[in-house]
Structures are given as structure tokens and as C-alpha cells.
Amino acid sequence: MTRVLGAERVPAGFTITTEACVAYMRDGAEPDGMDAQVDEALARLEERAGKRLGDDDDPLLVSVRSGARESMPGMLDTVLNLGLNAARSRARAADGQRALRVGLLPPVRADVRQRRARRAGERFEDDIKRVKAERGVTEDTDLDAGALRELTAAFSRFYDFPEEPREQLRQAIRAVFDSWNGDRAVTYRRINRIPDDWGTAVNVQQMVFGNKGDTSGSGVAFSRDEVTGAPEPSGDFLPNARGEDVVSGVRTPRDIRELRDWMPDADAQLMDILRTLEKHYKDMQDTEFTVEEGRLYMLQTRRAKRPAQAAVRFACDAVDEGLLTKAEAIATIDAEQLDALLHPTFDPDAEYAVLARGVAASPGAAKGEIVFTAGDAVAAAGGGRDVILVRPFTEADDAGSTPRAGS
């Protein structure tokens, strides 16, 4: 993406390849020479950024994210603002800069059991809700530096956060590798027949900030409608927010079509970039972007996952547009995915009362009793009852335990 769009559009960084992850999984340790290569790459990044990781005055801050060739649930969430510690956070706050939420996505080792990790995450969120209620605010961005210091102290009871930036980076890289073998990722690969020996890359990238005020923001954008495959781009964004805020559900995002009203220049640039990336990769793209004080940055792009109807629409349109040949277009469609088009669906003209909204975990329409645990779903289905499993979020146990339950 850097070669296609230019270095000024993509924050600087470096990639640790999948080969390193494969060696780590095989030997239980990073391959010989990897630490030295990371040091060399980090030195080049520091030279380009004009900042140094761990500097007391104006440190280089980086993000660390997974880079598997197929995106999948269960991989480690992006670690943001790596390079901060308690002393540097206090210094930035003293300089009048809004404290950064470094404590919310620490590089937790992915080999912690899934349920234990979920409980820890719930404790983080419970404390955030408590502090917001005490301050009488509704958005995370409304919390002042004092509130964030209080949260940081509370979080330190749940997780021993490393203060040394190079150790933060080492743990974050290892955590990405470990997450490849997390329960949800393994289950997803089994269901979708993705080889376990692919491994994941690790992307280390200079931070850009979408939470610097009303001329900053973050979002996700698809080069086409991710549900229907129609040629109009789709996605969401939030002003004055990090990318994690857009996808976590903490704040309600805005439709990408509203971007032109908020920041027309950034919108025009983004629309042009989406066309450029789609033409280069010859496939529908799923991107992440940040606007920092009016300047648009592209963080990553990947092949967009889409339902069967969108896959067929894209393939047909791509041929008509001259983007793909017929053979290339057919290759973009997973043949087994076409089965989803054969499932019964609700009549789009039907009238009905909406009780709740969620994300479907399987194609087509379903009817049955609502249950809230995988165990209840299995028991009910075993008794011949039709059930719909409703969960706050999907888990590996759900996918592995409910072969007969609709979701």
C-alpha cells in the first residue's frame, strides 16, 4: 500500500513476516536474529520519524497489529500508543495534551485462557463506565486527564504493564504470534479450512492520532457496499476518535457518506484512494484510515469479506467495468459461499416489529426459541426444538458446540 499510495499517505513502519511466526510456533521462541532485525528496522523508523521510542520529551509511539493473509476473529486487537509509560503520560498531560488511553489495550499475552481474558476485559469496561458515571459524561472523550489517571491506577491492579518501551514492543510482537493459536482463531480456521501453518505477520507502524479534536477522526471504509456489493463505498467513521472506538461499539459511528459533509477534502481523497487500491489489488477492499488534524492517512487494506450476494454482484460489475476478466471474476467467489444464496430469507416487503438488532452468524432467515448459552442451545436442539442462540458477542465455544442451532 505504501508503494501504491506513497510514503506520505501511509504511516511509516515495518513488518515481521509470517516466516518468523511459523518458526516461533515450531520452536516456542523467536527465531535467531529476529531481535536484531527488529532493532535495525526500529532504528530506520526512528530516523524517518525524527523521534525515538522511549524518548522522555517527545517519544515515538507505535501501533502493533496482526497481519494474517486472511483476517479472522480471535487475533489480538491492535495495540495502540506503544511507547508510553506512566512518566511519559504525566509529561504529556503536563504539557496540556490530552492523556492517551494507553491502558485499554495492553499487550496481554494471548496464551491466557479466553474466559479469563474476557473477565479482565469486562473489569476494564466496568471501571470506565463507573468513572464516566461519576463525572456525569457519556463519551470516553469527555474524560479529563484526572479521570484518565484514575483509570490508569485502577487498570494497574488488573495488569502489570511494562514500563520499558522496548519490552512493551517485545511482548506485543509475541502476543500477536500467540494469538494465532487462540481458541477463536483456531476454530475459525477449522470451519473455513484455513491452514494452521500459515502463521501471521506483525505490523509495527508509527501512530497517527484521530483523537486530536474536531479536525481529526478515524474510520473503516469498503471500496463497495460490503452487504450488497453495489459500487458505492460503505463504512463508518467517528470524529475525534481512535479506530478502536469505531469498531468496538463504545460510541455510535457515523455513516461514511456523512464524511463529505464533515471534511470534504478528506472524503474526496479517500474515495480516490479506494478506487486506486481496488484497481491495484483487483478485488474489493476493506480499509482503515485516520484523519489527523485534516490530513488523511491510510493504515491498512485487505480483501473485503462479503456475503454471497455481494460477491456475485462485485464479480459481475468488475467484468462490466473492465476491472477483471471473467475468469478472474469467477476466482473471487468461493463456490461453497453460493450455498448462502439458496437459504430462505425474509420478504423485504414484509411488515414486522423489530425487537432487537444484531449480526447474523449464519445465512438466511431462522425461527425458534431464543436461548442465551451454547449449552442450552445444544440441549434444546437435541430435544428437537428449533432455537436461536443470542450472544453479546460470538465465542469459540459457540461455533464448536452448536452445530444444529441457528444464530
Question: Residue 86 maps to which CATH number?
Answer: 3.30.1490.20
**What's the residue count for the chain?**
407
- 189 and 130 in a single domain? The answer is yes
pLDDT one-digit tens code per residue, 101-118: 433 334 433 433 344 455
Name the grid cell of 394.
460470538
Predicted pLDDT at 121: 65
Task: Name the stretches of the chain with pLDDT < 70.
Answer: 87-121, 248-250, 393-407
Predicted pLDDT at 397: 55
DSSP character string of 273-298: HHHHHHHHHTS-EEEEEEEETTEEEE
Could you give the CA distance from residue 199 to residue 12 in angstroms, rounded to a whole number? 23
- 97 and 21 in a single domain? The answer is yes
DSSP character string of 210-264: S-SSTT-EEEEEESS-TTT--SS-EEEEEET--HHHHHHSSS--EEGGGHHHH-H
- 286 and 317 in a single domain? The answer is no
C-beta separation of 80 from 65 below 8 A? no
Could you tell me the end-to-end alpha-carbon distance of the chain, in angstroms, rounded to an integer?
A: 36
Could you give the CA distance from residue 361 to residue 129 in angstroms, rounded to a whole number? 28
Question: Pick from 178, 207, 236: which residue ends a domain?
Answer: 207
Query: Which structural domain range is residue 330 located in?
Result: 308-341
- 180 and 112 in a single domain? The answer is yes
Predicted pLDDT at 280: 97
Could you give the CA distance from residue 261 to residue 98 in angstroms, rounded to a whole number? 26
- 58 and 179 in a single domain? The answer is yes
- 37 and 150 in a single domain? The answer is yes
- 202 and 219 in a single domain? The answer is no
pTM, to two decimals: 0.77
Helix (H) or strand (E) holding 117: helix 114-135
Question: Pick from 173, 207, 241: which residue ends a domain?
Answer: 207
- 37 and 156 in a single domain? The answer is yes
Predicted pLDDT at 99: 41
Q: How many domains does the chain have?
A: 4
Question: Pick from 207, 229, 249: which residue ends a domain?
Answer: 207
- 114 and 216 in a single domain? The answer is no
Could you give the CA distance from residue 202 to residue 217 in angstroms, rounded to a whole number? 24
